[in-house]
Chains A and B, each alone.
Chain A
């Protein structure tokens, strides 16, 4: 039997974070129907684990479950992409690893901003990023979470959160530059 009080407490805690949960799932799965399924699955899982929730930041606790559900879902359904595990070291070799160099890498700031301010182009560029980079950017810029909170949700060390974030930003600029040269 499920205690109705538990159900009520869960609803009160979880319902206000549904938008955040859906937004994250939508950006990770890149598809509304899949985001729907993932969030529903994650919320039911969260309810089953709710006894283990010791209070505190409900949003972080839920987002961690949504994130894990997303990744299991991605592994199951997109095996061809997910067989390549994201590797921070390889990613740092592929991009310029030095953030100082990163900051200097400016081609045409005005052009870049023009593209970033165009919703379609911005969305397209974000969707091109590797999932692991897109995730950090979404948590940072759309959910307005601190490095520490992101580290808590993703289970990554803060240093890794910072380096992924800077690579994500660099990669985003490159996407905009690629758009500039092709269009």
Chain B
């Protein structure tokens, strides 16, 4: 690629929308061309100036309330979603059943449990998205609005039977804005709220019940991205309308912060 070709594609490249083969060719050119590199740097600086300094107009509370009132009643949207996906629990009653029937039932439940185990993450993902949506919907994002990890962490004491790790990632652009109690997977969990640019991230944390670390997996649901991993004995779910790449960066920062004692 020569300078003319590179410059025609520079904006597309900077937007992260250039296909891989051409991106590679373009980067090869950049490595040896100071002029084009300077242009790219300037272009990126302008982009990030817009992203940082252009005002983002949030909907006024009055409009939110007016819409809520104008739309036909949907008042119990705050009801817990936990009644979905109940898992079969009691096997005690089985003993009262006669042999053949009991065997058939046990088989059915066994299959069902297998199914639940496979579907477990999917059902959880639904709950996590529902939790995220509820938090944005009811103007009930944070029970304890604070950017100070030393305020947020103690707030959970006495409300949860575990102490959630709370990290300040403002340096990396992920600003802690508060904490909240939520209910996921039939238990109380900690919800930590972060903001990255205009985007809200809900981070749900609860004890994993084992020390096995699990790598992260990404899911997409209803226009939101979810990232799920297990580390340091805790289950982590991050959900946001942020793109998957930046959500992964968020995860990396959290893992780093977790690895270094604060």
Chain A interface residues toward B at CB < 8 A: 2, 4, 7-8, 10-13, 15-16, 18-19, 21-23, 26-27, 32, 35-36, 39-40, 43-44, 47, 55-60, 98-100, 102-104, 106, 109, 112-113, 116-119, 122-123, 126, 137, 140-144, 146-147, 162, 165-166, 169, 172-173
Contact = CB atoms under 8 A, between A and B. Distances in A.
Given A16-B136, A99-B11, A100-B8, A23 B58 contact: yes
Contacts of B47: 141
Contact of A112 (B46, B68, B72, B199): B46
Contact of B15 (A26, A113, A140, A143): A140
B54 A57 contact: no
Contact of A58 (B17, B54, B66, B223): B223
B137 A11 contact: yes
B34 interface: no
Contacts of B45: 109, 113, 116
Contact of B11 (A104, A118, A142, A165): A165
Interface residue range, chain B: 35 or more
A100 B7 contact: yes
Lowest 7 CB-CB distances: which A-B pairs, in order? A22-B59, A116-B49, A26-B57, A103-B7, A16-B136, A8-B74, A15-B137
Chief secondary structure at chain A's binding surface: helix
B46 A119 contact: no
Contacts of A165: 11, 15
Chief secondary structure at chain B's binding surface: helix
A80 B43 CA distance: 35
Nearest to A121: B53
A119 to B, nearest CB: 5
Contact of B53 (A57, A59, A117): A117
Contact of A40 (B15, B54, B70, B199): B70
A113 B46 CA distance: 6
B101 interface: no
Nearest to A166: B11
Contact of A59 (B58, B63, B66, B241): B241
B17 A100 contact: no
12 contacts: A7-B71, A18-B67, A22-B57, A22-B63, A43-B71, A57-B223, A113-B45, A116-B46, A116-B53, A142-B51, A144-B198, A162-B11
Interface in B19-58: 38-39, 42-43, 45-47, 49-58
Contacts of B72: 2, 4, 7, 47
A40 B67 contact: yes
A14 B105 CA distance: 43
B10 interface: yes
Contacts of B5: 100
A146 B74 contact: no
Given A7-B73, A142-B56, A12 B137 contact: yes
A8 B53 contact: no
B2 to A, nearest CB: 10
B63 A39 contact: yes
Contacts of B17: 146-147
